[in-house]
Structure 1
């Protein structure tokens, strides 16, 4: 999987774009994948600064890790949080 494929998957899952960054820091606190000089990492950014980071062997590994993290954050009981239906119930 590459970053373009990951973006497509995340859009289909309705995970808000603001919740993550691909090749950039997330707009808010959140996970992102970054590439510098051919090296990939999964990072967590807070207030525009990387606060934690792990090295990945490839773009594919970074994408898979980000997808796992986002699914863990946004999915609960088999459904995505913050869908219009769930927002109406709150």
Structure 2
């Protein structure tokens, strides 16, 4: 199975929260008191600037791609770990 890395460049998040509003986004992203979004998946690696999560779950990947596509500052990425391609366009 292909592995994917979900990446949130939290340092550059502007808090538009469009990612939360997309269908299923509330299961993935959480608004924080500082006006930015957090990746709320259990097992994610988090620093104040960057959140990352590795998964093989294709349904989750599709949801994250949909949320990333509405982000006005493109801080959400889904990287195919086999090819290095960012699947969020």
* Structure with bigger gyration radius: 1
The structure showing larger relative contact order (alpha-carbon pairs under 8 Å, at least 6 residues apart) is 2
TM over 0.5: no
TM-score (norm 2): 0.29
Larger proportion of helix: 1
Larger proportion of strand: 1
